[in-house]
Structure 1
């Protein structure tokens, strides 16, 4: 019986410690910097990076500027980030030709300007409740044993 409670406690700690990475997400945003910070998504289990990319590309329009800067952000796999730079500031950005630059990072919302604080209070509370429930389950035989009426 003791082994079952120890297994329950270990399982609870494993589940509580596993949370998916959260990244800012947007596709081909142009114009004002910071538009991409509004949307945050939880990544899949194989997506261990947050990616931020910028493109300077030719436009097909005959009206307006011949090139346009766009930004994209999303969760990414290790494979997607293998050729990325460590910092967007190190990207070669010649204004006379098209370019695409990506940078990857490994912490929640690190690919945006703003931190992703929304949802963290609820998530921390949920993790605490899971840990308390696991500890109470593991300590149940001892707690009930001390309450025996003879």
Structure 2
């Protein structure tokens, strides 16, 4: 009988960080054997305790996950994954491979990169949208 060893893979991990930097691109975890996916959830909205004038922000969470759980969360958040800059939204994406969740992807399509926009760029987009109304 052959002795087979399985090597675990690594994912970036962070919880509710403002943007895709800091812990989200520096902290790595060794995943459990059954956790074959790296999962990323990106949320756009205001901080808890919202009040008028509080800016919208991008919040990022990353973790190791089983394939089933990651797909469940991706499908659960798919209706919320609008990426409309003036509304709260949330997208979850899954990927496989060591540290594959370094970059943010949108969760709607596993092959399309999510453009991380600055607040100024989002403001310009919102103004352009309002002018068209």
Q: TM-score, normalised by structure 1?
A: 0.55
Q: 1:50 aligns with which of 18, 30, 38?
A: 38
Q: Are the counterparts in 2 of residues 27 and 72 from structure 1 also a CA contact under 8 Å?
A: yes
State the shift of 1:21 in Å.
Answer: 1.6
CA distance in 1, matches of 2:54, 2:9: 37
Greater per-residue helix proportion: 1
Larger Rg computed on CA atoms: 1
Q: Are the counterparts in 2 of residues 20 and 44 from structure 1 also a CA contact under 8 Å?
A: yes
Q: Are the counterparts in 2 of residues 52 and 71 from structure 1 also a CA contact under 8 Å?
A: yes
Summarize deviations over 1:69-125 as a string: whole Å, max 9, x none: 10111101122221538xxxxx53012221110111110000014xxxxxxxxxxxx
Matched, 1:29 2:17: yes
Matched, 1:39 2:23: no
Q: TM-score, normalised by structure 2?
A: 0.62
- Gap regions ≥5 residues in structure 1: 1-6, 86-90, 114-150
SS, match of residue 80 in structure 1: helix
Alignment RMSD:
2.1
Aligned residues: 95
- Gap regions ≥5 residues in structure 2: 76-80, 104-133
Matched with 1:105 is 95
Aligned in 2, Cα 1:92/1:38: closer, same or farther, shift over 3 Å? same
CA distance in 1, matches of 2:69, 2:91: 12
CA distance in 1, matches of 2:40, 2:71: 13
Q: Are the counterparts in 2 of residues 52 and 112 from structure 1 also a CA contact under 8 Å?
A: no
State the shift of 1:41 in Å.
Answer: 0.6
